Copies of this chain bind each other. A is one copy, B any other.
Amino acid sequence: MTGPRIDGARLLGRLQALGAIGRDAEGRLTRLAASDADRAGREAVAGWMRDAGLEVMLDRVGNLFCVWQAGAPGAAPLMIGSHIDTVVDAGIYDGCYGVLGGLEVVQALREAGVQPARPIAVAAFTNEEGVRFAPDMMGSLVHAGGLGVEAALATVGTDGAVLGEELARIGQAGPHEPGFLRPHAYLELHIEQGPVLEREGVPIGAVATLQGISWQRVTIEGVANHAGTTPMSMRRDAGLAAARVVTFLRDRVSRANAPTVATVGCMAFEPNAINVIPSRAVFTVDLRDPDEDRLRAEEAALSRFLDELAAAEGVTIAVERLARSGPVTFDPAILRAIEDAAARHGLRCRRMTSGAGHDAQMMARICPAAMIFVPSADGISHNPREHTAPADLVAGAQVLLDVARRLACGETGVPAA
């Protein structure tokens, strides 16, 4: 093996340092988008970017970039990105690994004296998690033109705050119009957040597709009545109807022998009293599939089941669509470059589907894009127990470096922008 190498200690040190920012009194990590903790994290990242001699830029929706101005004048940049906002009580790798991995790649290439044919930008997109402000992946969505900047800035958070006001308050509302950097290609390095790589003992995932995601909220209205005095045959039990949906989804999806996944994550009964038949059940349905036709078929099957259920149980059912994104197919030439790089380093690599949403799915709307995954211990993420072995983190960043070098030096089949 020859060529530039990333500095693993520097990368791992920055991951730990960023992961220490935004801890509460109990030590829990929470850096919600456009919060004071987010500001502190952004300032640390921007500081490292400047220390590396790179120009830092902010756009109006708070997307943070550093740019290595290189190559031919006017050439579209290669962009490497992810996010540094977190969920509540988060781990330290989700998103941060991609941003700090990108910065490490640029720094290592510069230090090795590589002369790329185009600029390389590193992006930290605003509000990928969508915990405080909806929708998630907001910054990259705005960058890709899928949501207007004014609409994004007017978003009201779960705490009543307005995103635009919060970005201004924390000094992260920049001058640039979103989308001002139109990439030649986009790369994102991320922990898998699932168990596949660890289970198979494979250190590198070349993410070929990203599942389509369908989020719905279902509200079932029955009739509250006394649990002791209402015969079973006279009940209109919203809770029972909700349970039938949960078991229907599991049984249908498990039988199908397809990669579809279905989850009911939120559930609430009203009045939620031990001796009262539930009058109302509200729950969410998260359906994902890498195939759009199959995802639509699952949505349709659920809809038919709800119609039958309403008639059978004497309840009324309302469905609200919360989010919907179609599957994404990543760029085959970049995928081959990932596989080549892994092979050159003696790392096993498999093509895979991402079950989670990522900024890369938004960027794939405007340029060739792909993702590199590394294993997540026990498949756990969005949790303090989120963990990837240091050797895997370093290996993933090295593969990213090699792919970035080929893309920025024009050595792949990705056509020039």
A: which residues have CB within 8 A of B? 192-196, 211, 213, 215, 224-234, 237, 239-240, 242-244, 246-247, 250, 253-254, 259-269, 272-278, 281, 284, 286, 288, 322, 354-357, 379-383
Contacts and interface: CB of A to CB of B under 8 A. Distances in A.
A70 B23 CA distance: 74
A322 B274 CA distance: 10
Nearest to A246: B243
Nearest to A227: B263
A207 B127 CA distance: 62
Contacts of A195: 229-231, 234
B228 A355 contact: yes
A230 B379 contact: yes
Contact of A231 (B192, B261, B268): B261
How many of these chains are in the complex? 2
16 contacts: A193-B226, A194-B229, A213-B228, A227-B263, A228-B357, A229-B381, A239-B267, A242-B243, A243-B243, A265-B276, A266-B269, A266-B272, A266-B273, A267-B268, A267-B269, A275-B382
A254 B233 contact: yes
B254 A265 contact: no
Contact of A226 (B262, B268, B272, B356): B356
A288 B228 contact: yes
Given A243-B246, A244-B247, A229 B265 contact: no
A254 B266 CA distance: 27
Nearest to A199: B234
Given A192-B229, A233-B254, 10 more contacts: A227-B286, A228-B356, A229-B379, A230-B379, A237-B263, A243-B247, A263-B277, A265-B273, A265-B274, A268-B272
Nearest to A381: B226
Given A247-B247, A267-B272, A272-B266, A261 B357 contact: no
Query: Which residue, A195, A227, A234, has most C-beta atoms of chain B within 10 A?
Result: A227
Query: Which residue, A244, A263, A272, A355, has most C-beta atoms of chain B within 10 A?
Result: A263
Contact of A225 (B228, B260, B379): B379
A216 to B, nearest CB: 10
Nearest to A131: B273
Contact of A194 (B230, B244, B275, B354): B230
Contacts of A237: 250, 263
Contacts of A247: 240, 243-244, 247
A213 B229 CA distance: 12
Given A226-B356, A380-B225, A265 B239 contact: yes
Contacts of A242: 243
A323 to B, nearest CB: 9
Query: Which residue, A211, A229, A254, A281, has most C-beta atoms of chain B within 10 A?
Result: A229
Nearest to A254: B232
A260 B225 CA distance: 16
Contact of A232 (B192, B230, B253, B284): B253
A264 B225 CA distance: 12
Contacts of A243: 242-244, 246-247, 250, 264
Contacts of A288: 227-228
Contacts of A250: 232, 237, 240, 243
- 5 residue pairs, one from A and one from B, having the closest CB atoms: A194-B229, A228-B355, A229-B355, A243-B246, A227-B263
